[in-house]
Amino acid sequence: MSKDKYKVGMIVRLKKLPEWGQGKIVDVDGTILTVVFKNVGEKEVDSTTAPLEIVKKTETKEIEIRDHASLELIAKAMKNKEQFIISQ
């Protein structure tokens, strides 16, 4: 399993505990994922021992703000509710 398989923002389901409902990954630290599940709240899950099904992937776009065109890209991303990373 690739260490980059799971990303912040993905919607997942724990295969062994479907009653927890779907969850959103809010942090990734190696194989340890912090997931907020619909029915049980925030839990830490080790992706090597607890298989997760990816329900919905997210796409992260990185842009560098240098001019007005970059600001327009940010506005568009926000309007479309996309995730983006701002770096200095």
What pLDDT band is residue 34 in, cutting at 50, 70 and 90? very high
Read off the pLDDT of residues 42-69 as tens digits, 9 standing for 90 and up: 999 999 998 899 998 765 555 566 666 6
Could you give the percent of the chain with pLDDT greater than 70?
A: 72
At 61 the pLDDT is 57
Burial 34-70 (b: 16+ CB within 10 A, else e): bbebeeeeeeebebeebebeeeeeeeeeeeeeeeeee
**Contact yes or no for 30/19 (Cβ under 8 A):** no
Whole-model pTM above 0.75? Answer: no
Sketch the domain layout of the chain as residue ranges: 11-56, 59-88
In CATH terms, is domain 11-56 a member of 1.10.3470? no
Residue 81 scores a pLDDT above 90: no
